[in-house]
């Protein structure tokens, strides 16, 4: 998403370095007794709003956050920020992320097969938000952990349906259509 905003191309090497850094950060956080860290969508929204995406600015902000985290009065100040202020900022950031996703979807060729990938994943993922508690209680804990997160359900369905439809069914249909076209041309 960020690369698209800046009209940059992402090489495989650059993506791999980013993934490696992400995994390394998660591992180091876990080794030192913390929770694993990850890139959050809010950060992408902040970059879109501010226009600042330099890794040096991010590094400086991280160092300042570590230093300020050692000062209890700063923690009290941050905890005293009113909820409506935080809600307003979150609304803007997540709204930007949502509309950036919609912009990305505009580039998809929405034929019947791609609709067959996206539509069920969206509806089923959304539907898990209202799964009755007594039905969830019947499932194993590991499955409950998945079904209580609609985005995860949708993501898993998107991956599975995309693999089935665009990697198995679409090539089969294209091959069948090519045979039909060549037979028609021979006549």
Q: Name which residue leads in pLDDT, 137 or 184.
A: 137
From CA 117, how far away is CA 126, in angstroms rounded? Answer: 15
Q: Which residues of 91-120 are buried (b: 16+ CB within 10 A; e: fewer)?
A: eebeebbeebeeeeeeeeeeeeebebbbee
Q: Measure the CA–CA gap between 151 and 125, rounded to whole angstroms.
A: 6
- Helical spans, DSSP H, in 106-168: 112-127, 133-137, 141-147, 150-164
pLDDT recorded at residue 170: 93
The pTM (predicted TM-score) of the whole model is: 0.59
For a pLDDT cut of 70, what percent of the chain falls above it? 96
Q: How confident is the model at residue 116 (pLDDT cuts 50, 70, 90)?
A: very high
Could you tell me the CA-to-CA distances from 96 to 42, 92, 106, 129 in Å, in that order? Answer: 9, 6, 15, 23
Tens of pLDDT along 32-65?
Answer: 887 766 666 667 777 777 778 787 888 898 899 8
Q: What phi-psi label fits residue 148: left (phi over 0), alpha (psi between -120 and 50 degrees) or beta?
A: alpha
- pLDDT (0 to 100) of residue 160: 96
pLDDT value at residue 41: 64
Neighbours of 8 (CB within 10 A): 10
For helices 112-127 and 150-164, angle between their N-to-C axes, nearest 10 degrees: 160
pLDDT for residue 118: 93
Rounded CA-CA distance 122/26 in Å is 29
């Amino acid at each position: 998403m960020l690369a698209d905003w800046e009209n940059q191309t992402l090489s495989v090497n650059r993506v791999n370095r980013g993934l490696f850094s992400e995994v390394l950060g998660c591992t180091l956080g876990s080794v030192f007794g913390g929770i694993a860290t990850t890139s959050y969508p809010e950060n992408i929204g902040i970059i879109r709003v501010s226009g600042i995406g330099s890794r040096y600015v991010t590094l400086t902000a991280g160092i300042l956050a570590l230093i300020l985290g050692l000062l209890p009065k700063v923690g009290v100040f941050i905890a005293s920020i009113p909820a409506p202020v935080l809600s307003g900022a979150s609304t803007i950031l997540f709204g930007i992320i949502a509309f950036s996703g919609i912009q990305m979807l505009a580039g998809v060729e929405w034929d019947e097969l791609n609709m067959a990938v996206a539509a069920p994943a969206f509806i089923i993922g959304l539907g898990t938000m209202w799964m009755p508690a007594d039905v969830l209680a019947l499932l194993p804990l590991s499955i409950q952990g998945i079904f209580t997160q609609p985005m995860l359900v949708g993501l898993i369905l998107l991956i599975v349906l995309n693999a089935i439809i665009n990697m198995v069914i679409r090539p089969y249909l294209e091959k069948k259509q090519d045979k039909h076209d060549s037979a028609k041309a021979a006549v």
